[in-house]
Every structure is written in structure tokens, then in C-alpha cells.
């Protein structure tokens, strides 16, 4: 005869079953959370890889555009090394995407050969050989293909950001694009002797357009100046902001490449160097809601602000209007030579012309007394280093920042290519070496260099 379970035994059994069910639920929730976190990590990794691939293909396109106008072996060598590194970065990003088994032959073929072909042309030029019309044609075809690939990648990146496609669908988006259906230029003839793999890319630091030059050296300008007191710095800050010292509050000191006092008001923040009492930067926290004045008017406002601050010999180099704010880049002019490293940026509101920002870090870090010698080469002699594919419109002397924190004393040739786009070629006025190539991007919003 079976003994009926006591009430206490039933309670124990129910508690045991309840605990077991609870443990199973907790375990399942934890597994679901882990799976969700894993999916999020994977998705984030895919998105980052898409962004890196988009940026790498854009960099390749920009470098190829410069390669078309490189007229000296030294410049061709620099650009080919850059292309190798950029193609390597693109390959790395592509390898992080779920593309296994997808038909991406054209993309892979392009990334495999673009850098190697540039190296081939560079080596040929260094040995005294001339680049033929056919080779230039092949290079141009690679450039045209790179533009299509870059546009396609950024389009995919934007669709992912907008939630229109999932990151794991990138491969199919690439496969279905005209990039894969079109033909990649076949430029394998002539450099088959080159190995397919390059494991060691040359270390190449590129400081891009001169608005973001290197700030790793000590300021020669500050070393010769005396320290100012807090009250002295506050007087400078109040003038820059158009207010009184009593309305400024101290917000601490900045210990960086430029030691400075920091002040703020309800609407703005400003930094004044401890040595010399120079305005390092000023920023107002107002966001204009519309644009009522032109870029020309904004530049006029910025010019007057520099005059108000007793800053002389500055010349407008580039400007950009974005978000109802015009940012104007100024470079110092030293005895007729434009010194791009001595940079000041001014931000102007396009609704009422108010000065919203001022940044003199480039000027403070780089400005010094310079002794520009008479160029050894004439303009006509330096022109020999400019590509025959370009038509020269203007020439002037300039000092440009180089990647090793030195400066290049150059002729700046403003040129136009066959597509009516402007290209800047910098040729060392002492040696004739091609130092830099910049592409100008001109639009209604301004002019920028890359």
C-alpha cells in the first residue's frame, strides 16, 4: 500500500520544481542575452569594417587622382607606397565581412593590382623610362573604377546607417552592384615579374591638406615670450569675446603642447597661452539656424576680427560653409611667401556674421622667424617637374608642412586638368623635387584641398 505524500513533502517537491524551472529560465535568459550581445558585437564589427572599407576605397581614389599628375620619380614612389598601404587596409576590411563564396572577383582583382601597378610605374620612372600613353590610360581606368567603387561603398554604408540593409547583407549588395558586372581594367602586362605579396609597407605619414598639420614639436614662438598673469590673460580673453573681465570665470589650466589659462562665460569658452598671453582658441556654443549672409561677407567679417585682434599678414587660403557656419583658413604671408603651417582658423555664423570660433594653435606651434633664400630654380625651370597633363594657371612661392615636421620651400603651381578641376603641385624651388600634390574640391560651400 502506497503511503500518501505529506503536505511538507509536496511543498518541498514544488519548491524543488520551482527552483529548477527558475534556474532554467535564468539560464535561458542569460543565453539569449549572450546571443544578443554576440550578435550586436558581430553587427558592430561588420559596420566598422564597412566604414573602414569605404574610407580605404575613397583614399585609394584620391591617391590615384594624384598619381595621374605625378611627374617625378620621387613623387611617384611616395604615391605608390601610399596606394600599397591603402589597398592593404581595404583588403583587411574586406576580409572582416561575410563575403566567403560571394562573387567579388572584380573588387578583389582591383585591390590586388592597383598598388602593384603604381609601384611598377614608379620603378620604371626611377630607371629613366618614360610612362607611355597606354600606361597612363590604364592608370586613368583604374582611377575611374576606384571612384565607382568608393561611391558604391559609401552608398552601402549610408544604407546600413539608415537601417535599410543589415551589415551581413553587404556582400550581396556588392555582388549585385555594377562594380562586379563591369570590367576591371586589366593592367597586368608589364609588371608580372613583381611578386603578388608585399608584407612590409613603407612607413608613410601623410598630413593631408595643411589645415591639420603635425603639432608634435615645441613652439619656438612661445619659448621667447614672457609669462603673463591670470589677470593679464583675462584682459586678453575679454577683448576677444567682446565682454568685460568681470564676466569671465576661470575654468582651470590646460597642460598640453601649449600651456594655457582657460576661461568661460555662459555662451563661450576661451584659452589664453601662459607665455605671451596669446589667444589659443575661442569657441561660442551657439548653433545658427539659417544662412543669411554669403561666404564673401563671412570672410570680410573674419578679416575685420583679425584686424581687431591686431593680427597682420594673414591671407585666406581655403574656406568651407557647413551647418550655417563658414570656417575660413588663413595662412601667414612672409615677404611674399605663403606659409601654410602658420595657420589660423576663424568660424563665422552665416545668420548674422557673429564670430563663433577662433583657433590659432597651428600658428602658435609653427610660427618663427624664417630666412627664405632666393630660389635656385626659376619658375620655368621648376615647371619641368609639373606633369604635361596639366595646364598651369598660376604660380607663387609657398612653405608647406612636411610629414617629418620640417617644411618645404616650394613653387606652388595652380593647375587645371582635362576635367577642369584644379590641382596644386608643389615643387622644391631649390632642387626641383616634387614635394606634394593636392586636389582642390570646389563647390558652392567652399574650397577644400586633399
Give residue 61's pLDDT band: very low, low, confident or very high (50, 70, 90). Answer: confident
**Lowest model confidence (mean pLDDT) among 392-396, 426-430, 434-438:** 434-438
Quick check: 68 and 147 in contact, CB under 8 A?
no
Q: Is the pLDDT of residue 332 over 50?
A: yes
Element (H, E) at 71: none
Beta strands 268-273 and 337-349 are unpaired
Q: Among 131, 48, 122, which Cα is nearest to 89's?
A: 48
What span, in angstroms and rounded, lies between the C-alpha atoms of 333 and 315? 7
What span, in angstroms and rounded, lies between the C-alpha atoms of 376 and 374? 6
The mean pLDDT of 15-26, rounded to a whole number, is: 53
pLDDT at 54: 82
What span, in angstroms and rounded, lies between the C-alpha atoms of 375 and 204? 28
Give residue 44's pLDDT band: very low, low, confident or very high (50, 70, 90). Answer: low
Higher pLDDT, 153 or 244: 244
The CATH 3.10.450 domain(s) of the chain lie at 379-449
The mean pLDDT of 385-413, rounded to a whole number, is: 90
pLDDT tens, position by position, 336-357: 999 998 999 999 999 999 999 9
**Lowest model confidence (mean pLDDT) among 60-64, 76-80, 169-173, 195-199:** 195-199
pLDDT at 81: 78
Quick check: 65 and 433 in contact, CB under 8 A?
no
The CATH 3.30.310.160 domain(s) of the chain lie at 220-366
pLDDT at 192: 30
What span, in angstroms and rounded, lies between the C-alpha atoms of 276 and 270? 15
What span, in angstroms and rounded, lies between the C-alpha atoms of 235 and 245? 6
What are residue 388's phi and psi, to 5 degrees? -70, -10
Cβ contacts of residue 260 below 8 Å, gap of 6+? 253, 254, 271, 272, 273, 274, 280
pLDDT at 122: 73
Q: Is the pLDDT of residue 286 over 80?
A: yes
Q: Among 345, 342, 339, 348, which Cα is nearest to 300's?
A: 348
pLDDT tens, position by position, 171-225: 455 555 554 445 544 433 332 332 232 222 222 222 234 434 445 567 888 988 9
The mean pLDDT of 218-246, rounded to a whole number, is: 91
241: its cell numbers? 569675446
Higher pLDDT, 379 or 145: 379
- Identify the burial level of 191 via C-beta atoms within 10 angstroms of its C-beta, where 0-12 means exposed, 13-18 middle and 19 or more buried: middle
Cβ contacts of residue 449 below 8 Å, gap of 6+? 209, 210, 318, 424, 438, 439, 440, 441
- The phi-psi region of residue 89 (left if phi > 0; otherwise alpha if psi is between -120 and 50; otherwise beta) is alpha
pLDDT at 119: 73
Three-state secondary structure call for residue 226? coil
pLDDT tens, position by position, 118-168: 777 777 777 777 777 787 788 888 888 888 888 887 777 777 666 666 555
pLDDT at 9: 57
The mean pLDDT of 246-269, rounded to a whole number, is: 83
pLDDT at 218: 78
Tell me if the domain spanning 379-449 has CATH number 3.10.450.
yes
pLDDT tens, position by position, 29-42: 555 554 444 444 34
Q: What is the CATH topology of the domain spanning 220-366?
A: TATA-Binding Protein (3.30.310)
Which long-range contacts does 305-311 make (Cβ < 8 Å, 24+ apart)?
305/346, 305/355, 305/358, 306/330, 306/344, 306/346, 309/239, 309/240, 309/279, 311/344
Give residue 1's pLDDT band: very low, low, confident or very high (50, 70, 90). Answer: very low
324: its cell numbers? 550655417
The mean pLDDT of 309-330, rounded to a whole number, is: 91
pTM tops 0.85, yes or no: no
pLDDT at 446: 72
Q: Is the pLDDT of residue 308 over 70?
A: yes
Q: Is the pLDDT of residue 409 over 70?
A: yes
Higher pLDDT, 385 or 169: 385
The mean pLDDT of 391-405, rounded to a whole number, is: 88
Q: Is the pLDDT of residue 55 over 50?
A: yes
Helices (H) and strands (E) counted in the chain, each on its own, are 11, 13
What span, in angstroms and rounded, lies between the C-alpha atoms of 99 and 101? 6
Q: Among 294, 280, 295, which Cα is nearest to 357's?
A: 280
pLDDT tens, position by position, 98-115: 654 444 556 766 777 777
Quick check: 392 and 413 in contact, CB under 8 A?
yes
Distances, alpha carbon 358 to alpha carbons 309, 327, 370, 447, in Å: 11, 9, 25, 19
Amino acid at each position: 500500500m502506497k503511503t500518501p505524500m505529506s503536505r511538507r513533502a509536496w511543498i518541498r517537491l514544488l519548491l524543488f520544481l520551482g527552483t529548477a524551472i527558475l534556474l532554467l529560465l535564468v539560464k535561458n535568459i542569460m543565453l539569449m542575452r549572450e546571443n544578443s550581445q554576440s550578435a550586436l558585437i558581430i553587427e558592430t564589427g561588420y559596420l566598422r569594417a564597412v566604414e573602414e572599407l569605404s574610407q580605404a576605397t575613397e583614399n585609394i581614389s584620391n591617391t590615384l587622382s594624384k598619381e595621374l599628375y605625378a611627374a617625378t620619380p620621387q613623387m611617384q614612389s611616395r604615391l605608390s607606397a601610399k596606394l600599397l598601404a591603402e589597398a592593404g587596409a581595404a583588403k583587411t576590411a574586406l576580409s572582416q565581412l561575410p563575403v566567403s563564396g560571394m562573387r567579388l572577383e572584380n573588387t578583389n582583382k582591383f585591390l590586388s593590382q592597383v598598388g602593384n601597378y603604381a609601384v611598377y610605374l614608379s620603378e620604371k620612372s626611377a630607371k629613366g623610362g618614360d610612362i607611355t600613353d597606354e600606361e597612363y590610360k590604364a592608370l586613368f581606368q583604374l582611377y575611374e573604377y576606384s571612384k565607382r567603387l568608393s561611391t558604391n561603398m559609401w552608398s552601402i554604408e549610408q544604407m546600413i546607417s539608415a537601417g535599410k540593409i543589415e551589415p551581413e547583407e553587404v556582400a550581396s549588395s556588392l555582388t549585385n552592384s555594377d562594380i562586379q558586372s563591369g570590367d576591371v581594367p586589366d593592367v597586368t602586362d608589364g609588371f608580372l615579374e613583381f611578386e603578388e605579396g608585399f608584407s612590409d609597407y613603407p612607413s608613410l605619414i601623410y598630413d593631408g591638406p595643411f589645415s591639420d598639420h603635425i603639432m608634435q614639436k615645441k613652439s619656438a614662438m612661445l619659448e621667447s615670450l614672457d609669462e603673463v598673469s591670470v589677470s593679464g590673460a583675462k584682459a586678453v580673453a575679454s577683448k576677444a569675446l567682446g565682454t568685460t573681465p568681470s564676466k569671465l570665470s576661470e575654468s582651470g589650466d590646460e597642460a598640453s603642447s601649449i600651456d594655457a589659462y582657460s576661461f568661460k562665460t555662459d555662451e563661450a569658452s576661451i584659452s589664453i597661452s601662459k607665455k605671451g598671453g596669446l589667444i589659443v582658441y575661442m569657441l561660442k556654443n551657439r548653433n545658427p539656424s539659417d544662412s543669411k549672409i554669403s561666404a564673401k561677407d563671412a570672410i570680410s567679417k573674419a578679416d575685420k576680427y583679425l584686424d581687431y585682434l591686431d593680427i597682420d599678414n594673414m591671407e585666406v587660403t581655403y574656406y568651407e560653409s557647413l551647418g550655417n557656419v563658414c570656417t575660413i583658413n588663413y595662412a601667414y604671408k612672409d615677404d611674399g611667401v605663403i606659409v601654410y603651417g602658420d595657420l589660423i582658423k576663424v568660424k563665422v555664423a552665416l545668420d548674422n556674421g557673429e564670430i563663433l570660433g577662433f583657433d590659432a594653435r597651428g600658428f602658435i606651434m609653427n610660427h618663427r622667424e624664417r630666412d627664405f633664400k632666393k630660389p635656385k630654380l626659376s619658375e620655368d625651370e621648376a615647371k619641368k617637374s609639373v606633369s604635361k597633363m596639366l595646364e598651369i594657371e598660376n604660380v607663387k612661392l609657398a612653405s608647406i608642412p612636411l610629414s617629418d615636421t620640417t617644411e618645404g620651400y616650394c613653387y606652388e603651381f595652380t593647375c587645371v586638368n582635362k576635367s577642369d578641376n584644379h590641382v596644386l603641385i608643389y615643387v622644391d624651388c631649390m632642387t626641383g623635387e616634387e614635394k606634394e600634390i593636392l586636389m582642390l574640391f570646389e563647390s558652392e560651400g567652399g574650397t577644400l584641398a586633399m
